Amino acid sequence: MRLLGALALSIYLLLAPQAFAALWYVDNTASGANNGTSWADAWTSAGAIAGLSPGDTVYISGGAAGQSYSWTRGWTPTNGTAGNPITFAVGQDAGKNGMVTFVNDINPGGANEWLATNTREYITINGEVSGQRRMTIDSSFAIVAYNANFSAGDKHIRLLYLEWDGPTIYTHGGYYEIAFCHGIAPLSFTDDSFISYIGEGAGATQAVGINSIHDNYFEVPKVSATGSGFDLFKWVRNTDIYNNTLVSVINGSYAGSQHQDGIQAATINLRIYNNYWEGFSNAALFLATFGEDAAGMRIYNNVFNANDASGPPIWIGSGGVSTGTISDTIIANNTAICNSSGTGRGIFFGVSAALTVGADVNIVNNLVYRCLSNETVVTSLLGGSPTISNNVGGTTNLAFVNNSTYPTNDFHLTAAATAAIDLGLFSAPAYLTSVFTTDADGLSRPQGSAWDIGAYEFDQGGAGPAPDPPAGGSFLSSQRPASLTRPTSPARAVR
């Protein structure tokens, strides 16, 4: 009996936090008691929300066809706890599941944040309704989430299914997830950077896969094909970046002077895979040691489309600092397409200053199309030798389904791409297969006698499901709602 009693108590303690989690409601058209306990008695504003406990969910009405809320700038919602976050979500009921729009209540157009994350933790913001985004952060806010405190530590904050056109994200700390969002950068901001400091900061856990940014569409401006523009990601680390579409577009109203990269960051615990990058004028990936010893970098299955730009797809160096060793790095099976004039550059490694190359640095199976002098991988000023093998360049016997720009592009291989099909490393070494064994669509490698070069395998049949993050990936992945699915990939060419 004692054993049964102890077992019952254990089950009770395990389930109790969730069992007593409450549901609350916000609707600025409600006319009842306004105590948040039902749609009829819903709170009508952010300032009215009170009495939340860890594990609670607050539903916000979007009405039948959309509803706007004048929302407190610098919003600091109640904290959750480990395993019991506070969740703010769009109403799921008919008549309550329209688009929720948050508008700055104090200083429209000012440099104000929607969510202040400095002292906040274990908070989930979820704008999903049946797999669609139904939550918008209005451009009257300058920042979606803000924390300038370098010592803030781990935050455990999830931003899911949000839309914004104008605000940025500027927040230190660890354990962030940004997923299934659609964001467009403004024309000016601090350092002209769109998403900054994820994973940075004293007290933030320093390890592979702590943060994740996935399944988003993000767009930033540039002044011209080769001119200045916004950095999309800046100073992020300990982060998995995957399954995103990341695009730079010309906007003549941009007046900044930032040299534009898709990402500018230290080469520490970054896993960047299965993304599409387009049009970044300096480099899609500018990763440097900046005086630190760097490791844990995995860059694979990406498509880099320079479009009109002439910068390299990947630029790895020391950031102008003469110290720093890079090791344990894989750059593999990426597809990079230079501009149509053939003046773009290949993959650059170690070109800014003396860079020490340690053990296990491998650059293999990359397809670099139509670059200057048929460049594939360019190395310079290296203290040590990375492994560089089975990369292919030029244009001969390389053919894609549709070599164009987003959204009509399709860089799957056709049967004519005989310089890439089955010409990767014949027997994929363990350093590759321990990281990934699929292409950018989730199709198993190899389909023929050897891995194909580039982001996609060429074969008959359809793509499998999107692969899960690698072992040791973000703890947040297992918490995704079942409705979050990756869109079906384009039809594949047949062998």
Instruction: Report the predicted TM-score, pTM, of the whole model to 2 decimal places.
Output: 0.90
pLDDT band at 322 (very low <50, low <70, confident <90, very high): low
Is the pLDDT assigned to residue 77 strictly greater than 80?
yes
Question: Which one of 4-8, 106-110, 237-241, 354-358 scores highest in mean pLDDT?
Answer: 237-241
Contact 131, 121 (CB under 8 A): no
Q: State the Cα–Cα distance between residues 8 and 2, nearest whole angstrom.
A: 10
pLDDT band at 464 (very low <50, low <70, confident <90, very high): very low
Instruction: For 12-81, give the secondary structure using H, E and C.
Output: HHHHHHHHCCCEEEECCCCCCCCCCCCCCCCECCHHHCCCCCCCCEEEECCCCCCEEEEECCCECCCCCE
pLDDT band at 111 (very low <50, low <70, confident <90, very high): low
Tens-digit pLDDT profile for residues 202-224: 889 999 999 999 999 999 999 98
Cis ω before 386 (30° cut-off from 0)? no
pLDDT band at 354 (very low <50, low <70, confident <90, very high): low
Q: Cβ neighbours of residue 199 under 8 Å, at least 6 residues apart? A: 173, 174, 176, 210, 211, 236, 237, 238, 239, 269
Contact 311, 281 (CB under 8 A): yes
Mean of per-residue pLDDT scores for the chain: 87
| Block residue for tokens 């994200």 | 169
Q: State the Cα–Cα distance between residues 100 and 46, nearest whole angstrom.
A: 13
At residue 301, the pLDDT reads 98
Contact 156, 149 (CB under 8 A): no
Which H or E run contains 412?
Answer: strand 410-413
| Percent of the chain's residues with pLDDT above 70 | 86
Q: Kindly report which listed range (87-91, 96-100, 113-117, 265-269) carries the lowest average pLDDT score.
A: 265-269
pLDDT band at 321 (very low <50, low <70, confident <90, very high): low
Q: Kindly report which listed range (56-60, 65-69, 146-150) carries the lowest average pLDDT score.
A: 146-150
Q: Kindly report which listed range (85-94, 215-224, 360-369, 380-389) carries the lowest average pLDDT score.
A: 380-389
At residue 492, the pLDDT reads 37
Number of C-beta neighbours around residue 176 at 10 A:
30
One-letter amino acid of 68: S
Is the pLDDT assigned to residue 300 strictly greater than 90?
yes
Segment 397-419 shows an average pLDDT of 94
Q: State the Cα–Cα distance between residues 454 and 447, nearest whole angstrom.
A: 13
Is the pLDDT assigned to residue 462 strictly greater than 60?
no
Helix (H, G, I), strand (E, B), or coil: what is residue 374? helix
